[in-house]
Amino acid sequence: MFLILLYAECLAENLLKDLLNHQFVYSISKLPSPFFKSDKRLFGEISRLLSSMLYELLRS
């Protein structure tokens, strides 16, 4: 997880600040997939968490 955040920070500082639009794509392994099929709110909460993490990263 630390390497992902470090990579995102590197992208934000070196590349993405020069771009007008930002788009991030994240993937989740197949292992927790059954949990998301039975509880869609869980996937929504994880998506909001990732979105807020990226927002804070880009804001700083």
Kindly report, residue by residue over 1-56, the tens digit of the pLDDT: 778 888 888 877 887 666 666 677 777 778 877 877 888 888 888 888 888 888 88
Rounded to the nearest angstrom, the gap between the alpha carbon of residue 21 and the centroid of all alpha carbons in its chain is 16
pLDDT of residue 25: 78
Taking the CB of residue 54, how many other CB atoms lie within 10 A of it?
Answer: 16
pLDDT of residue 22: 64
Rounded to the nearest angstrom, the gap between the alpha carbon of residue 27 and the centroid of all alpha carbons in its chain is 9
44: tokens are 């929504």
> What is the sign, positive or negative, of the torsion defined by CA atoms of 31, 33, 38, 41?
positive
pTM of the model: 0.50
**Amino acid identity for residue 1 in this structure:** M
**Residue ranges per domain, the chain?**
2-59
